[in-house]
Structure 1
Amino acid sequence: MPFSKKKTGVLLINLGTPEATDYFSIRRYLKEFLSDHRIVNLPPILWKTILHLMILPRRPFITGRNYQRIWDEAKDGSPLRYYTRRQAELLAHRLADKEIQVEWAMRYGTPSVAEKIDSLQKKHCHKILILPLYPQYSATTHASALDAVYKHLLTLTNQPAITVVPAFAKSDLYLSALTSHLQKELTKLSFSPEKILLSFHGIPKKMAEKDYLYPQDCLFTAQKLREKMQLSEEEMPLTYQSRFGGAEWLQPYTVDTVKNLAHHGIKNLAIMAPGFFSDCLETLDELGREIKEIFLKEGGENFAVIPCLNDSEEAVNLLGEIICPSEETF
């Protein structure tokens, strides 16, 4: 396809979400997600047997109920889809004077990475900046998103030039955005938190031995955020959530930490999830419902989850500042 006017495109990529909360929509999503070798690193024959015989027949019922609790038809159903789309729209408006085309995609589900690369090419973009929306690098997220990009490029005769924006956990732009956002959100609370928990998505400990950049990035983010907030490690501890299965994962676990804090007399707790750029099932339902219920049951009194950056001014400015230097040096 000839380019009549060469342009630059930006593709924001987030993890993914089902199209609806019914059994078959959830099953399709889980099948794609759990078939990624970056997510489950077991012998293929063994894992396919477990996946198709034990997980996919039953898990969609549980996961579907979880999604139903956070689903909002007025906002395109899935919060993750809504906020990722909003980020792309607001970023496009911010970059309008540069004639940069902005699209968004999901690694799993729709709209797909392949679909949106094709869309940018149809808009005459001969250069595409890929921005995975994962601040901390992990093979399970950042690398998997790039797998989808490169897989589609293999099918193209006329490939666009690709630049990948690296994970930005150590960027002062990101850390400053988190700090500003956290400070604003704390003023909205009706109570003063005794501790602010920083909860990151966990990964199996065995996987982390190879995927060692991820825990390093999480520790760095926590350390720098404490410095900017002038809080100690005790006042702002780091934990890992979303453990699945019986294997040992990165620790300390969020659920155990919350129980222990309540047992030791902490009555007022706030949780922030810096590794999630947009609110999703893990922040709204796991933290906002499951962890909250545990804290209150164990003796806590006030609990709040700090919203993710979402479509805030801090989020859009951060994306714009990350993209512009990359676009200029393309």
Structure 2
Amino acid sequence: MENKGIGVLLVNLGTPDEATPAAVKRFLGEFLSDSRVVDLSKWLWRPALYGAILPIRSPKVAKLYQSIWLEEGSPLMVYSQRQRDALEARLNIPVALGMTYGNPSIQSALSMLSDQGCRKVIVLPLYPQYSRTTTAAVFDKVARSLKQTDYLPELRFINHYQDHPGYISALAESVTNVWAEHGEPDYLLCSYHGIPKRYADLGDPYPEHCNQTTALLAEALAMPRDKMSMSYQSIFGREEWLKPYTEPTIIELAQKGVKRLDVICPAFSVDCLETIEEIAEGCKDAFINAGGETFNLIPCLNDNSAHIAMMENLIKQHIQGW
């Protein structure tokens, strides 16, 4: 692609810089202080967050990160960097990686693109299904990062791709690759990151997008719907979140006689704490303890070629006319 001053900003959620309680506390403090994520009154929420939740939760979460940490760093960061590298090589235009929380920041990524002469920037949040808690939070950070900029770049913002044919095809390919090696399971579960039910009631289209992805993936796999369903994981706090919840669903499937269960996490662009530790370790243990026998986590799309090709096509579609 000819460079006409166009750059790409890839954005993921973020990750602690290190697998230490202090680094986790900094990261979670920034993440959970965002009103897009937790919309409680800051006068009520922040004293509880900094006075009780972070001091108690940070050491526990740090141990979980330590259990999955790679030699190169956090899995989310390692795979996101590989995505950036692969995408830039295919597009032949500058691609910068920014994180909504932590490092590298969105502001630093936008500055990098500006330094490379990019006056037109396409923003791709790595969330296939739109949610106020993820995609909208990226938009907020981009806007705040540009607030002090004298010359604003022209922006285009991709806010969802839950039904993009290339995305569905990449998901199906990742599933069939596992099945080619291990055989088909008794049941396939799509586990999505949860959000408070109240957000959906107020108009967040996230559950609708998750339903669309699940239905299209079932169609692509020719999977009977009595052998495939969806659930929501990573529940936090006492408020009701979207249901059904993943771990109870997995336990129920085992109790109903499912012996081999495969789980895919379509909302996650890269493998991270929520897929590697929560699903592949925690939920696997719950399944086996409830009577299941074989449990497979189907890896996230990460930097596989079908995923990068989908992102390339998605960006080229949105660049048309520039």
Q: Same fold (TM over 0.5)?
A: yes
Identify which of 113, 118, 129 aligns with 1:125: 118
Q: Report if the CA contact (8 A) 1:181-1:314 is conserved.
A: no
Q: Distance in 2 between matches of 1:192 and 1:172?
A: 23
| Matched AA of 1:8 | I
Identify which of 68, 77, 82 aligns with 2:78: 82
Q: Distance in 1 between matches of 2:181 and 2:151?
A: 51
> Aligned residues: percent identity?
39
Offset at residue 212 of structure 1 (A): 3.0
Question: Cα–Cα, structure 1 residues 177 and 192, in superposed 2: closer, same or farther, change >3 Å?
Answer: closer
The residue aligned with 1:101 is 94
Q: Distance in 2 between matches of 1:200 and 1:254?
A: 8
Q: Distance in 1 between matches of 2:158 and 2:129?
A: 12
Q: Distance in 1 between matches of 2:17 and 2:181?
A: 32
The answer to whether residue 62 in structure 2 is matched with residue 64 in structure 1 is yes
Identify which of 140, 143, 149 aligns with 2:136: 143
Offset at residue 125 of structure 1 (A): 0.5
The residue aligned with 1:16 is 14
The residue aligned with 1:221 is 213
The answer to whether residue 181 in structure 2 is matched with residue 188 in structure 1 is yes
Q: Distance in 2 between matches of 1:178 and 1:192?
A: 15
Q: Distance in 2 between matches of 1:208 and 1:53?
A: 29
Offset at residue 328 of structure 1 (A): 2.3
Compute the TM-score of the two structures, normalised by the length of structure 2. Answer: 0.97
Q: Report if the CA contact (8 A) 1:138-1:211 is conserved.
A: no
Q: Report if the CA contact (8 A) 2:132-2:204 is conserved.
A: no
Offset at residue 292 of structure 1 (A): 0.3
3-state SS of paired residue (2:76): helix
Offset at residue 188 of structure 1 (A): 2.5
Number of paired residues?
A: 320
| Matched AA of 1:250 | L
| Matched AA of 1:58 | I
Offset at residue 233 of structure 1 (A): 2.1
Offset at residue 211 of structure 1 (A): 4.2
Offset at residue 201 of structure 1 (A): 0.6
The residue aligned with 2:169 is 176
The answer to whether residue 310 in structure 2 is matched with residue 318 in structure 1 is yes
The residue aligned with 1:111 is 104
- What do the CA deviations read for 1:176-199 (whole angstroms, capped 9, x no partner)? 12112221122222x531001000
| Matched AA of 2:158 | V
Q: Report if the CA contact (8 A) 1:79-1:280 is conserved.
A: yes
Q: Distance in 2 between matches of 1:222 and 1:186?
A: 18
Q: Report if the CA contact (8 A) 1:139-1:211 is conserved.
A: no
Q: Distance in 2 between matches of 1:212 and 1:327?
A: 27
Q: Distance in 1 between matches of 2:188 and 2:304?
A: 21
3-state SS of paired residue (2:275): helix
Q: Distance in 2 between matches of 1:323 and 1:119?
A: 19
Offset at residue 6 of structure 1 (A): 5.3
Q: Report if the CA contact (8 A) 1:202-1:249 is conserved.
A: yes
Q: Report if the CA contact (8 A) 2:166-2:306 is conserved.
A: no
The residue aligned with 1:91 is 87
Unaligned runs of 5+ in 1: none
Q: Distance in 2 between matches of 1:211 and 1:310?
A: 30
- What do the CA deviations read for 1:288-315 (whole angstroms, capped 9, x no partner)? 1110000011111100000000010111
- What do the CA deviations read for 1:245-265 (whole angstroms, capped 9, x no partner)? 222111111111111111111
Identify which of 232, 241, 245 aligns with 2:224: 232
The answer to whether residue 251 in structure 2 is matched with residue 253 in structure 1 is no
Question: Cα–Cα, structure 1 residues 278 and 211, in superposed 2: closer, same or farther, change >3 Å?
Answer: farther
Q: Distance in 1 between matches of 2:159 and 2:192?
A: 19
The answer to whether residue 196 in structure 2 is matched with residue 204 in structure 1 is yes
Q: Distance in 2 between matches of 1:276 and 1:186?
A: 20
Question: Cα–Cα, structure 1 residues 267 and 285, in superposed 2: closer, same or farther, change >3 Å?
Answer: same
**Pairwise CA RMSD of aligned residues?**
1.1
3-state SS of paired residue (2:227): coil
After TM superposition, which residue ranges in structure 1, 4 or more long, deviate above 6 angstroms?
Answer: none
Question: Where does 1:149-160 land on structure 2 (aligned, <5 Å)?
Answer: 149-160=142-153
